[in-house]
């Protein structure tokens, strides 16, 4: 797989780089960002945290706003941030922010016109890790994290692939998309009207049926405008309690849905993942 470097910035002794490549699964050009900590300069292979961003985001939001690179450099962890959807003039889109470009929901779409390009689950689970492990000095130790729609993606992907990820974490995740407006809209478009097909991408449903544990940490701001209608952390906590699942749910007074919240606690998440590598 050929990749093209389009930007390069030194940060905390390591390097933040952006690349584009032709995606076979999404049938378009995709972009991702990677932070390589200074430990890579001596030939060491480092573990990777995959970060999945939320609605309307690209690979740039987390890398520029989260303030994660200092601790990633300290711990010797690479961070990989893919885009949130396919892009291009021939890629299906919607006039609203919560469907189409910037809103891939990390599923494999089965319905027209979305199925042609929107194969974000296979991109995150199969294609992108293969590219990263071919081209960069990383090990096969992986963790996954994300925010909002990306939190949904991180937790559900980890539950579906427990042998692939040593840990998972999320900020303000959409925990139960089969039962919230964002999820219902996206899943109807991408997956069709059969709600049983939706459950394979729903964290609460997957956790309820899980037979293998992936340690999880979730942070949720209690002043989040989307808390009650879209995110439903109580459903996740109830499912984890019933399964005696290793979930740490931390709820924080005064914090909202923004990157100010993520930046306040991202160090904890990186140290959480480092403890499980």
Find where tokens 């994300």 sit: 146
Using only the alpha carbons of the chain, give its radius of gyration. 17
Helix (H) or strand (E) segment spanning residue 252: strand 247-252
Q: Which candidate in 23, 85, 148, 210 is catalytic?
A: 148
Return the number of other C-beta atoms located less than 10 Å from residue 41's C-beta: 12
148 carries an active-site annotation: yes
Instruction: Considering the candidates 16, 59, 224, 273, report the single residue annotated as catalytic.
Output: 224
- Are 176 and 218 contacting, i.e. CB atoms less than 8 angstroms apart? no
Spell 131-166 as b/e; 16+ CB within 10 A means b.
Answer: bbeeebebeebbbbbbbbbbbbbbbbbbbbbeebbb
Q: Is 152 a catalytic residue?
A: no
Question: Out of 147, 257, 269, 273, which one is annotated catalytic?
Answer: 257
For the residues of 127-182, what is the DSSP string, one character each? IHHHHHHHHSSEEEEEEEEEETHHHHHHHHHHHH-TTT-S-EEEES----GGGSHH
Catalytic annotation on 145? no
- Residues with a catalytic annotation lie at 148, 224, 257
């Amino acid at each position: 797989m050929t990749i093209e470097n389009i930007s390069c910035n030194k940060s905390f002794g390591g390097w933040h780089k952006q690349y584009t490549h032709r995606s076979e699964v999404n049938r378009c050009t995709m972009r991702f960002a990677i932070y390589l900590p200074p430990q890579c300069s001596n030939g060491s292979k480092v573990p990777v945290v995959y970060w999945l961003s939320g609605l309307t985001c690209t690979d740039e939001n987390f890398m520029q706003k989260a303030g994660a690179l200092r601790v990633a450099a300290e711990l010797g962890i690479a961070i990989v941030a893919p885009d949130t959807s396919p892009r291009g003039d021939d890629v299906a889109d919607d006039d609203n922010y919560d469907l189409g470009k910037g809103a891939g929901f990390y599923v494999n779409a089965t319905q027209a016109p979305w199925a042609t390009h929107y194969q974000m689950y296979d991109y995150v689970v199969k294609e992108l890790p293969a590219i990263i492990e071919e081209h960069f000095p990383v090990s096969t130790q992986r963790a996954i994290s994300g925010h909002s729609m990306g939190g949904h993606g991180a937790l559900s992907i980890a539950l579906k692939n427990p042998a692939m990820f040593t840990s998972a974490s999320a900020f303000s995740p959409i925990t139960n998309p089969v039962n919230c407006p964002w999820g219902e809209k996206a899943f109807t478009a991408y997956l069709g009207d059969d709600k049983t097909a939706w459950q394979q991408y729903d964290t609460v449903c997957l956790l309820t049926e899980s037979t293998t544990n992936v340690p999880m940490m979730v942070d949720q701001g209690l002043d989040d405008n989307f808390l009650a209608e879209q995110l439903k952390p109580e459903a996740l906590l109830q499912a984890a309690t019933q399964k005696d699942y290793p979930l740490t749910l931390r709820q924080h007074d005064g914090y909202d849905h923004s990157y100010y919240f993520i930046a306040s606690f991202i160090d904890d998440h990186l140290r959480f993942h480092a403890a499980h590598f």
